[in-house]
Amino acid sequence: MTYFPGIDSIVYEGPESDNPLAFRFYDRNRLIAGKPLSEHFKFACAYWHTFCNSGGDPFGAGTRSFPWSSDGDAISNGKSKMDAAFEFMSKLGLDYFCFHDYDLIDEGATLVESEHRLMAMTDHARDLMHSTGIKVLWGTANLFSHPRYMNGAATNPDFQVVSRAAAQVKLALDATMRLDGENYVFWGGREGYMSLLNTDMKRELAHLATFLHKAKDYARNQGFQGTFFIEPKPCEPSKHQYDYDAATVIGFLQEYGLDKDFKLNIEVNHATLSGHTFQHELQVASNAGMLGSIDANRGDNQNGWDTDQFPNNLYEITEAMLVLLRSGGLQGGGVNFDAKVRRNSTDPVDLFHAHVGGMDLFARGLIAADRVLQSSPLEAMRSERYASFDAGKGAAFERGELSLSELHAHAISFGEPAQRSGHQELYENILNRQL
């Protein structure tokens, strides 16, 4: 059975190709900084957007009909969706996918039934993974859609809901481990509050930390060696989400002793919603040695919500790839297209166009960033700005050896520092020239 007839395997044809279903930049074996592009990115498909989202929005129904059957029971529906998913990923050359537990199959009426369903789906996935070579970048639990989580999951004021969420995470971890998932994600969509008036924030944060510790301990005891990622986002659906941005999450992980096992999954549109750039969030994570993974997408400059559009901004992605190359790559994760085609993009081929564009964009950005680092003066100019710390008193300051009084004495002997331009426009031009 073919779900995407008329679409062949998508291959690299080079920048001159006029075939819309070909890569112009993503040559998976091309070496950049000593590593093939496919390894830099570990591109992943987001199961939820691509195979579950029929295009509904708060104002209207779904617009897309899927080419697989949904007339059978939950397990047979889940299997045909999964067969289509693997055909899609194979044709695109996507090496990985990411999933929520109930993307794979509808939640059952009870936890026991859900576990049974997840076992059936992971059996099926194992077969397909074996025959295609496609792997799991990360799994996660959907702790935000069901009404029981309306007041939060791990941070719910009711212990019974917290424990119900923990049970669900156990099943999602089991499913991820059965599929040899390389990582596991926590995105806390409802871990936050709608009003501080009814919220004990300190207590909720402590509950969240305990919850994460117990999940981590369980998985480690089962032999899971992957990384746990927290995915920051400032709001939506909560008015305020506790995992607001990278800096907030890093502080939380350090405060509660989770920083050895957890790293960050940085999403473009979440970064911009929190008032930062994507590259800023990557840099903050990288500074802490916690740049784990990326959720690729983009927002809309005129909208203040999470539009999850496919990425297409070369300048933004090239700046991001500079951060990535400087920090030696992602720690354990990859680039997951947490993005959806627009509601009026209703043909199956639109899903292919979207991913081809995203993969090509990241490849192009990485190649350009590598050129900036290797054959432009940018790195040397940036280092030169800090040259006064490389020797003498500046180096002593960096080592923490100068007291405030010694700094005072130095300033008096040196006199007024000369003005030194930051040359921002020149840096911008250098980057632009490599695009």
CB of 430 to ligand XUL, least distance (A): 33
In this chain, which stretch among 27-35, 67-75, 127-135, 330-338 interacts with Co ion, using CB under 5 A?
Answer: 330-338
Region near Co ion per CB under 5 A, out of 48-56, 201-209, 261-269, 339-347: 261-269
Q: Which of 27, 191, 231, 245 binds ligand XUL (CB under 6 A)?
A: 231
Task: Kindly tell me the burial class for residue 84, based on how many C-beta atoms sit within 10 Å of its own C-beta (0-12, 13-18, 19 or more).
Answer: buried
9: left (phi over 0), alpha (psi -120 to 50) or beta: beta
Residues 96 to 155 in contact with ligand XUL, rule: CB under 6 A:
100, 140
Peptide bond into 36 cis (omega under 30): no
Q: Which of 326, 318, 319, 322 is nearest to 364 (CA)?
A: 318
Tell me which of 40, 49, 100, 124 is the catalytic residue: 100
Site string for ligand XUL, 235-274 (x = CB under 6 A): --------------------------------x-------
Is residue 404 helix, strand or coil? helix
Q: State the residue for tokens 């907030």.
A: 248
Q: Residues binding ligand XUL: what is the number (CB under 6 A)?
A: 10
229 binds, among ligand XUL, Co ion, none (CB under 5 to 8 A by kind): none
Cα(153)–Cα(84) distance, integer angstroms: 32
Strands 291-296 and 262-267, by their bridges, are: parallel
Member of 101, 295, 360, 370 binding Co ion (CB under 5 A)? 295
233 binds, among ligand XUL, Co ion, none (CB under 5 to 8 A by kind): ligand XUL
| Burial tier of 348 (Cβ tally within 10 Å: 0-12, 13-18, 19+) | middle
* 100 in catalytic set: yes
Q: Which does 281 bind (CB under 5 to 8 A by kind): ligand XUL, Co ion, none?
A: none
> Does the protein bind ligand XUL through residue 306 (CB under 6 A)?
yes
Of positions 182, 243, 338, 360, contacts ligand XUL by CB under 6 A: 338
In the complex with ligand XUL, the residue whose CB is nearer, 80 or 140, is 140
CB of 140 to Co ion, least distance (A): 9
Residue type, 297: N
Q: In the structure encoding, which two tokens stand for residue 229, read together?
A: 């990622």
Whole-angstrom distance, CA of residue 66 vs CA of residue 425: 48
CA distances 418 to 72, 405, 414, Å, are 76, 22, 10
Q: How many helices (H) and strands (E) would you count in the chain?
A: 16, 12
Shortest approach of ligand XUL to residue 173 CB, angstroms?
Answer: 14
Q: Does 281 bind ligand XUL (CB under 6 A)?
A: no
| Per-residue contact flags (x/-) with ligand XUL for residues 157 to 196, judged by CB under 6 A | ----------------------------x-x---------
- Of 86-94, 143-151, 267-275, 359-367, which part binds Co ion (CB under 5 A)? 267-275
In angstroms, give the least distance from the CB of 327 to ligand XUL.
Answer: 21
The residue among 36 and 275 lying less far from ligand XUL, judged by its C-beta, is 275
When asked if residue 27 is in the footprint of ligand XUL (CB under 6 A), the reply is no
Give 44's strand partners. 96, 336
Give the number of residues in contact with Co ion, rule: CB under 5 A.
3
Cβ-based nearer residue to ligand XUL, 140 or 331: 140
Residues 10 and 352: beta-carbon distance below 8 Å:
yes
Which residue in 338, 362, 363, 368 binds Co ion (CB under 5 A)? Answer: 338
**Using the 8-state DSSP alphabet, how is residue 198 labeled?**
G
CA distance 216 to 213: 5
- Phi, psi (rounded to 5 degrees) for 57: -135, 175
Nearest to 275 by CA among 235, 330, 335, 310: 235
Structure tokens at 432: 């632009």
Q: CB-based contacts of 74: which residues, under 8 Å, 6+ apart?
A: 105, 106, 108, 117
Which residue's C-beta sits nearest to ligand XUL? Answer: 187
17 phi and psi angles, rounded to 5 deg: -65, 145
CB of 39 to ligand XUL, least distance (A): 22
- Out of 103, 245, 261, 338, the active site residue is 103
Q: Which residues are catalytic?
A: 100, 103
Binding residues for ligand XUL, rule: CB under 6 A, are 100, 140, 185, 187, 231, 233, 267, 295, 306, 338
Binding residues for Co ion, rule: CB under 5 A, are 267, 295, 338
